[in-house]
Amino acid sequence: MENIFGFIEQRLKCIKQADLYRVLRPYGGAQGVVLEMEGKRYHNFSSNNYLGMADHPEVVAAFKRGLDTYGVGSGASRLICGHHQAHVELERRVAELKGKPAALMFNAGYQANVGLIAALCPKEGVVFSDELNHASIIDGCRLGRAETVVYGHCDVADLDRKMRAYGHKPIKLVVTDGVFSVDGDIAPLAELSELCLKYKALLYVDEAHSGGVFGPHGGGLLEELNLRLPHVIGFGTFSKAFGVFGSYVAAEQPIIDLLVNTCRSFIYSTSLPPALAEACLAAVKIVSADADRRARLWRNVAFLNECFQARGVPIKAATQIVCYPVGPAAKAMEMMAYLKEHGFLVVAIRPPTVPPGSSRLRISLSSEHDPLIIEKMVDLLAGYRID
């Protein structure tokens, strides 16, 4: 046993020496634009709570009503006795929001992606995955038995060449983030959809960071671009703009039926608690109807860009996720500590999440951020010298 723990300690030492060591830091109170952590209060620019829904009183009330009515746990997986009417109603509402015939709930985005890709594309097929896709997509490709072909980031021409070479495959699946979770850029979904039609492939779009934020009713980029076509599969989460927990996939009914019968991460997981499903449903209804929240968020994105431009910072955000390049992991950690000293929480993103030498700060905007606080954060960023 000493040899085993010695090996573990050596691995940890190497991680620390590379400035890649991570620790858990608990916070107190509600998740909002101000966060209590380690006895201090910080302006929070690291949360995925993009629309300030995590403590919305109507969502909280729906959760409480669900707890009083259904209790805490769901008791079993959906195919045993954990399939509740609350799940049915949530799936119906999500399918309507996404413009699809059907939807299926999962407990978390990671759990869904690691099972969905393998279920949609068996070993006879091929998966085409953007090189900057989320880790859950990458792991889903690894766990599946189909061949995986990685194409250049948002490079439609590269994908075209690679799809042409695999025209003989009976099943082809293109997988991409809608909004990429670290850099905040947007996938060329219209062009990808056309390619999929050309090569008779399915297009799977992870809308974890675009759901609720894009579209007239918060239906995401697929609603924004009106890409509600049979070959397009929409995936998303309730844990970001909707402020709750859980995930979903929306698609044609035969695809949903296939997932119920073959997706192992769905079949063998205890279902989402019905009370949580009620909270998700309340959040979806509110976000769908409240266009002002999205408008406030996009005003904050535009204001951030104005602040960057006024200070000569060569960054222009396309979405609510903003990448501030730093480079070495040690420098990113120094800059994060500097911002914390001044009352701002902006978390450094380091390898293995990003390639070595490309560490950065990931700024997340919310509809609830005060523009004056955004401006102060930009002043701190612009005034910090990176040697």
What is the structure's pLDDT at 2?
Answer: 67
What would the two tokens of residue 226 be?
Answer: 């009106």
Q: Given the structure tokens 């599946």, which residue do they identify?
A: 144
Q: What does the longest C-alpha to C-alpha distance in the chain come to?
A: 60
DSSP summary character for residue 178: S
What is the structure's pLDDT at 384?
Answer: 80
What is the structure's pLDDT at 74?
Answer: 93
Answer whether 0.85 is exceeded by the pTM. yes
Averaged pLDDT, 323-348? 94
Catalytic residue among 74, 181, 193, 247: 181
Q: Respond yes or no: is residue 240 known to be catalytic.
A: yes
pLDDT higher for 130 or 2?
A: 130
Fold of the CATH domain 57-289: Aspartate Aminotransferase; domain 2 (3.40.640)
Q: What CATH architecture is 21-50+320-383?
A: Alpha-Beta Complex (3.90)
pLDDT at 284 over 90: yes
pLDDT at 385 over 80: no
Other CB atoms within 10 A of residue 99 CB? 18
pLDDT at 296 over 70: yes
Q: Respond yes or no: is residue 47 known to be catalytic.
A: no
What is the structure's pLDDT at 38?
Answer: 86
Q: Respond yes or no: is residue 231 known to be catalytic.
A: no
What would the two tokens of residue 200 be?
Answer: 């008779």
Q: Which amino acid is at 270?
A: T
pLDDT at 170 over 80: yes
For the stretch 313-329, pLDDT in tens is 999 999 999 999 999 99
pLDDT at 300 over 90: yes
CA dist 285 and 234 (Å) reads 18
Q: Residue 386 — pLDDT band, cuts 50, 70, 90?
A: low
List, by residue range, all CATH 3.90.1150.10 domains of the chain.
21-50+320-383
List, by residue range, all CATH 3.40.640.10 domains of the chain.
57-289
Catalytic residue among 134, 209, 217, 369: 209
CA dist 297 and 212 (Å) reads 11
Q: Given the structure tokens 């594309």, which residue do they identify?
A: 121
For the stretch 14-43, pLDDT in tens is 999 988 889 888 888 889 999 998 889 999
Q: Which amino acid is at 286?
A: I
DSSP summary character for residue 51: T
Contact, 49 vs 55, CB < 8 A? no
For the stretch 204-240, pLDDT in tens is 999 999 999 999 999 999 999 999 899 999 999 999 9
Catalytic residue among 136, 240, 288, 369: 240
What would the two tokens of residue 7 be?
Answer: 């090996």
